[in-house]
Amino acid sequence: MMVYSCLEARCGRYSRIPLVMSATTSMLERFSNGVRPSEKISHITTPEHTIRSILLWNNDSDQWADAVDGSRMSVELILEEKLIKRSQQKKITSPLNYKERLFVLTKNKLTYYDGKPEKKFKKGSIELSRIRCVEIVKNNGGSIPCQNKYPFQVVYDTNTLYVFAPSQDSRTNWVQRLKYEIKDNKAVLVKFHSMFWLDGAWLCCRQVEKQAMGCEEYNPYRDNTRKPLPPIPGPIQRPSPPPIPTSEDDDGDMDEDDEDEEDTVVALYDFPGAEPHDLSLVKGNEYVIVERCDANWFKARNQYGEEGYIPSNYVTEKRSGNLVQYGWYSKQVNRNKAEELLRNEDKVGAFIVRDSSTPETYTVSLYTKGSAGDGVSAIKHYHIKQTETSPPQYYLAEKHLFYSIPELIEYHKHNAAGLITRLRYPVGKRDKSAPSTAGFSYEKWEINPSELTFMKELGCGQFGQVRLGKWRAQHKVAIKFVRQGAMHEEDFIEEAKIMMKLSHPKLVQLYGVCSQQKPIYIVTEFMENGSLLNYLQEGRGSFDLGSLLSISLDVCEGMEYLEAHGFIHRDLASRNCLVNDSRVVKVSDFGMTRFVLDDQYTSSSGSKFPVKWSPPEVFNFCRYSSKSDVWSYGVLMWEVFTEGRMPFENNPNHEVVTLIMQGHRLYRPKLATPTLYDIMQLCWKERSEDRPSFSSLWVMLSDTLEEDV
């Protein structure tokens, strides 16, 4: 018989390290007689290690037995420590809270208990085979409302468990051990979110879909070379018993903060439903989410028990802190557009509450006129601030604190209290129409051509004619005719199923294709004001700095979304962006150049190849990436601030290649400030890795727009 020991070490990390002992006959006899050999334990204690228990291998039963008290136990225990978990909020109405739990990691499961590792105290358990990502959470100096300040995340299935460790060593140990245990899992993520999901958005990339693809590459093997060290010496005690196996219907998290709450949403728009499996929505009514099918479509149930599919962007979660349900809040409105809306309203006390450039902060934009009666208007922008207390309180004027933003707004509707005037008239976005959906129904990408009505011609694109039309005689769409021989049709049709799932307010939505006949049709969202290039040229001389910066931000938002989803545009330019009737600019034709068969367009030596928008690695090596899109975006910004001029207008393509390779860049447009031109030049760095990401560009441009708030 061999005797092994479970050891603890000073570093606060747990690990089973076998210690082979020379077992004397008398010692084994004492074990077999049931005598507690405590006097034999003390001499094995060292400055570095302390035995927690002595384990014996029973060859008869193929079980480990605790030599201290003779009981059987699992040797699968890897880590055990009291940590703090954040409620997972699997249901939208679940509260956000933080609770201390005893976490136990074995070879098969991560389990957490309320105090003692016993079945009746178990609060949740996750099979290690279901874990898709384990990584630290970046907080960037943000406040953490619990005493443990070192967060990490465990992503499993479609959920994220946030855990807070008491020290950096503790966190490192848990992350490394968990990564080591899941390294062979099949469903490991390609990308993950490096910051928290909070108040309906990812703090790292500001995506508002909880199931949106991550924004940072995930490396499951990072830091796995170092094995965790053993734990801190402590009093001699028997190991905690292993977690009790969960039943088959264990959903992985039974914490009381997530129980017995329905996932309730409120409809923001009417939705008639396009197919029999859809559920109609009535604005203002409440619905229960039965299943979150993907980021764009949910299965829901109405008050009558009827179930069906609904677009996720037509509803908002029902909770007190959700501002979307209020008419005075406009999420997708920047400073310039807010000022435009307020001036159009032209009422003293007109106001909008909108997102600030800093994530999870808000600004009140308020309209007034001069007190001298001269009719001169003024717009003030007030940041909504919050205290450092827990829970935080919100204020515009320091003497007037409120526990919620709606309470704050309601108070200032009746009291100026430090503002230039009270908040009298809430102003919403001018575009009151419902947003585009990712396809006309869930999993519907093939469109019957008999449901299309063809109207006037809108123009001619690289694949053929584009016409205005209607789907089922009610929904305006743009219909692109693909002439035969213009594209790799089979490849495109397959890719269209993926492209339809890309849905964002600053992307032109692909609704579907008609692929069962020739020519095939591509059906997209209709944009009333046409291409951004024509829009700039036709309005030349009428744009101010704020309007042009707002256009640049719209495009940047759309590209940031594509970047976060690992999608490369390959042909970003003002001609491939469209403008709707609310003057919102959206990115179009993303990824389409992959399917073009025209060599004059796809070859860098071809007359139609967009050399003037391309970085060196593209026209030299055809090496595309999100960073090549960033270069093109810098040229698009130049187009915007020259109001639609041609880049390098006096140089043919071959000269442009030479100029770029010699270090020449486009000049600063007159309408662009030095700061904006500096941003353009960052996009034109020769080495792709030196260029900023679209996420960074969005922050730079937003800060520029808000700089005098």
pLDDT at residue 66 in the model: 40
Query: pLDDT tens digits for 504-521?
Result: 999 999 999 998 888 889
Q: Look at residue 233 and tell me whether its pLDDT is greater than 90.
A: no
Rounded to 5 degrees, φ, ψ at 107 are -70, -20
Count of all residues that appear for the chain in the document: 709
480 is in an annotated binding site: yes
Q: Look at residue 607 and tell me whether its pLDDT is greater than 70.
A: no
Instruction: Name the band, by pLDDT with cuts 50, 70 and 90, for residue 90.
Output: low
Q: Look at residue 621 and tell me whether its pLDDT is greater than 80.
A: yes
pLDDT at residue 349 in the model: 93
pLDDT at residue 223 in the model: 60
Non-local (6+) Cβ contacts of 438 within 8 A are 296, 297, 311, 500, 501, 502, 503, 509
Domains belonging to the chain, first-starting first, are: 3-66 (no CATH), 264-317 (2.30.30.40), 323-426 (3.30.505.10), 449-525 (3.30.200.20), 532-706 (1.10.510.10)
Distance CA 344, CA 388 (A): 37
**Percent residues over pLDDT 90 in the chain:** 44
Q: Look at residue 146 and tell me whether its pLDDT is greater than 50.
A: yes
Q: Look at residue 524 and tell me whether its pLDDT is greater than 80.
A: yes
Instruction: Name the band, by pLDDT with cuts 50, 70 and 90, for residue 262.
Output: low
The per-residue DSSP string of 311-358 comes to: EGGGEEE--TT-GGGSTTEETT--HHHHHHHHHHH--TTEEEEEE-SS
Non-local (6+) Cβ contacts of 86 within 8 A are 96, 97, 98, 161, 162, 163, 164
Q: Look at residue 69 and tell me whether its pLDDT is greater than 50.
A: no
Choose the catalytic residue: 258, 571, 589, 629: 571
The per-residue DSSP string of 428-477 comes to: --S--SPPP-SSSSTT--B--GGGEEEEEEEEE-SSSEEEEEEETTTEEE
Residue of 229, 240, 232 whose CA lies nearest to 49: 232
Instruction: Name the band, by pLDDT with cuts 50, 70 and 90, for residue 594.
Output: low
Bigger pLDDT: 683 or 414? 683
Which amino acid appears at position 664 of this protein? H
Contact 667, 650 (CB under 8 A): no
Which of 36-40, 99-103, 212-216, 305-309 shows the lowest per-residue confidence on average (mean pLDDT)?
Answer: 36-40
Most confident of 332-341, 457-466, 617-626, 646-655: 646-655
Contact 692, 700 (CB under 8 A): yes
Residue of 432, 387, 392, 364 whose CA lies nearest to 582: 432
Most confident of 77-91, 123-137, 140-154, 459-473: 123-137
Q: What is the CA radius of gyration of the chain?
A: 31
**Percent residues over pLDDT 70 in the chain:** 78
Contact 367, 343 (CB under 8 A): yes
Instruction: Name the band, by pLDDT with cuts 50, 70 and 90, for residue 595.
Output: low
What is the b/e burial string over 49-76, where b = at least 16 CB atoms within 10 angstroms of the residue's CB?
bbbbbbbbeeeeeeebbbbbeeeebebe
Residue bearing tokens 């908040």: 423
Rounded average pLDDT over 331-356:
89
pLDDT at residue 20 in the model: 37
Contact 217, 191 (CB under 8 A): yes
- As to burial, measured by CB atoms within 10 angstroms (0-12 exposed, 13-18 middle, 19+ buried), residue 548 is buried
pLDDT at residue 240 in the model: 44
pLDDT at residue 38 in the model: 37
Residue of 66, 79, 266 whose CA lies nearest to 175: 79
Rounded average pLDDT over 548-566:
93
Distance CA 321, CA 410 (A): 14
Query: pLDDT tens digits for 405-445?
Result: 999 999 999 988 889 999 999 987 654 678 899 989 998 88
Distance CA 659, CA 494 (A): 39
Query: pLDDT tens digits for 467-496?
Result: 999 999 889 999 998 877 766 777 777 777
The enclosing H or E element of 202 equals strand 201-202
Rounded average pLDDT over 338-350:
90
Whether 581 is a known active-site residue: answer no
Distance CA 406, CA 480 (A): 45
Most confident of 41-55, 191-205, 302-316: 302-316
What is the b/e burial string over 243-277, where b = at least 16 CB atoms within 10 angstroms of the residue's CB?
beebeeeeebbebebbeeeebbbbbbbebeebeee
| CA angle (699, 704, 708) in 5-degree steps | 125
CA distance to 521, 542, 671, per residue, from 545 (Å): 39, 10, 7
pLDDT at residue 495 in the model: 74
CA 186, chain centre distance (Å): 22
Structural tokens at position 674: 């030095």
Quick one: DSSP state of residue 239?
Answer: P
Contact 629, 697 (CB under 8 A): no
Rounded average pLDDT over 667-693:
96
pLDDT at residue 301 in the model: 94
Q: Look at residue 1 and tell me whether its pLDDT is greater than 50.
A: no
pLDDT at residue 527 in the model: 95
Across the chain, what does the average pLDDT equal? 80
Distance CA 131, CA 113 (A): 19
pLDDT at residue 700 in the model: 92
Residue of 659, 565, 678 whose CA lies nearest to 619: 659
Quick one: DSSP state of residue 606?
Answer: S
Residue bearing tokens 């001609």: 575
Rounded average pLDDT over 321-331:
83
